[in-house]
Amino acid sequence: MIKFPYGISDFQRIRTDDYLYVDRTAYIPTLEDADRQLIFLRPRRFGKSLLLSMLANYYDVQTAGEFATLFGDLAIGQQPTAEHNQYLILRWDFSKVSAQGDSEQIKRNLFAHVNVAIQGFQVRYQQYLTTTSQIYADNAIASFESLCNAVQNSGHSLYLLIDEYDNFANEVLMQDVSDAQRYRELLEGEGILKTLFKIIKASASEGKISRVFITGVSPVVLSDMTSGYNVATSIYLEPRFNELCGLTQEELTPLVGQVLNECGQNIAEQASVLETLRQFYNGYRFCHRAERPLVYNPTLCFYFLRHYQRECEAPRKILDGNLAMDAGRIRYIAALPNGHGIIDQIVDDERPVMLQELESQFGVEKLREVQQDSRYMLSLLYFFGVLTIRDIGELGKLVLGVPNLVIRGLYVERLKRHALPRPQDDQLAESLAEKFYQTADLQPLVDFMESKYFAVFSNRDYCWSNELTVKTAFLTLLFNDTWYIMDSETALQRRYSDLVMIIRPVCAITPP
């Protein structure tokens, strides 16, 4: 039986407890050659934390005696680089830093996290440190400088790994769209986050830090830090790293086959299960090369396959609860000027969204310009993982699209909440949709749309209403991942259907 590491990002635990590990160690030499300070961005739940854990175990002097156990049968185990097990590892995880309170409280939260990490470092590497470093409770930046000096004076090298570097800063930015003052205080001028990264930059240039690897979701925070940290190499759009995180079709297919075999199911079911996974979890491309393969969200695939392995049927709910934060990203965009207009555009399959290039150099001031220029909003949605690069269009433009039906469901839900803000109306709409599934009588739903759904429209909204408006209304009310897949502009006998309801493959129970 496969032990799927759903929600587990500890590489050592995965390897020693026989969990599934999809080998990414072959990238280590390429990462070493890319530069000594790297920034790698991916959406949530794509395995960034596991990647950092793997790198930590590979480079840590403390795990040298476990190299054969951890890496012996992996790609890097046969030809390790000269740097394996050569560093003292310092790890920060900024997703653990609370974004609650004013800028001073957030500063204290950050200092507490950094100091705790330094204390753990001192305990772990006490036999390697010939000089001690000081912990300053009210100034973790001084603690960090003291640690760097102690490592250098002890004749060792430091590898700094920072996970979710932008997490708490992004949370501050999105908590109140209309008030970004706390965010500015963290990043502008001598803001605490900018100051911390200035020290990282200086320590690396002085040889106190040998390597830095940073993960995050978006480049917004980097843009606002400007000179605070302008020395790192961004690798997140490089084609050679497109599949560094995520699952490929080639990797997923044998896992599905093994799960079906354990359930005693005919291998003929494999095509149906793979099609379900493709429709709901695939569709991500993280580079400008259309020939690079699309990748699957690994966490959601493991969620599906772990359930299938236990119950020998697909989970009833395809939309895993872990998507709540992604819904929050879309909610944030929707609250911006013209945000709902952008979401309407995204769900319009007849007119693909196109950009000449993804915006990467934008900060909080640029985000104010989205009401005049949608490039920033669309680029931010790409980095959040709720848009992806579908293709390369005319004049080399990037064709952006919703990656899969899981993400489309989040957009649809946002549009529905906008049109039906009252819970009782939402519940009535759900009831009418279920009756339609059973009777095919559309009239009650049409009457509801006329009396409730379109009642929120202003005269200006009606002026701009068109076929897409009506189609989107039906899409939001009928979208149901338990029973049906709602598809738009489906090719049927050389024509295109506005909306199609397809019974979900490998449905756990018979649809009404």
Residue-by-residue pLDDT tens, the chain, 512 positions: 999 999 899 999 999 999 999 999 999 999 999 999 999 999 988 999 999 999 999 999 999 999 999 999 999 999 999 999 999 999 999 999 998 888 899 899 999 999 999 999 999 999 999 998 999 999 999 999 999 999 999 999 999 999 999 888 777 777 665 556 777 777 766 788 889 999 999 999 999 999 999 999 988 887 777 667 888 999 999 999 999 999 999 999 999 999 999 999 887 788 889 988 988 888 899 999 989 999 999 999 999 999 999 999 888 877 666 655 567 778 777 777 777 778 878 877 777 889 988 887 766 666 565 555 678 888 888 998 889 999 988 888 999 988 987 887 777 777 777 767 777 887 888 888 888 888 888 898 888 887 876 665 544 444 444 566 677 777 777 776 666 766 665 555 556 666 777 776 654 444 44
- The C-alpha atoms of residue 407 and residue 48 are separated, in whole angstroms, by 20
CA distances from 421 to 250, 278, 329, 438, 468 (A): 43, 32, 18, 26, 21
Q: Is 261 helix (H, G, I), strand (E, B) or coil?
A: helix
* Cβ atoms 171, 99 nearer than 8 A: yes
- The C-alpha atoms of residue 424 and residue 409 are separated, in whole angstroms, by 20
Interacting residues of 86 by C-beta distance below 8 A, sequence separation 6+:
59, 61, 157
Supply the DSSP symbol for 284: B
Q: What residues does 488 pair with on adjacent strands?
A: 499
- The C-alpha atoms of residue 114 and residue 121 are separated, in whole angstroms, by 10
Tokens 């909003």, residue located: 377
- The C-alpha atoms of residue 28 and residue 75 are separated, in whole angstroms, by 10
Q: Which long-range contacts (CB under 8 A, 24 or more apart) does 70-79 make?
A: 70/11, 70/12, 70/15, 70/16, 71/25, 74/21, 74/23, 74/25, 75/23, 75/25, 75/26, 76/25, 76/26, 76/28, 76/29, 77/25
Measured N-to-C along each axis, helices 192-205 and 103-124 cross at an angle, to the nearest 10 degrees, of 30
CA distances from 316 to 273, 319, 485, 512 (A): 14, 9, 13, 14
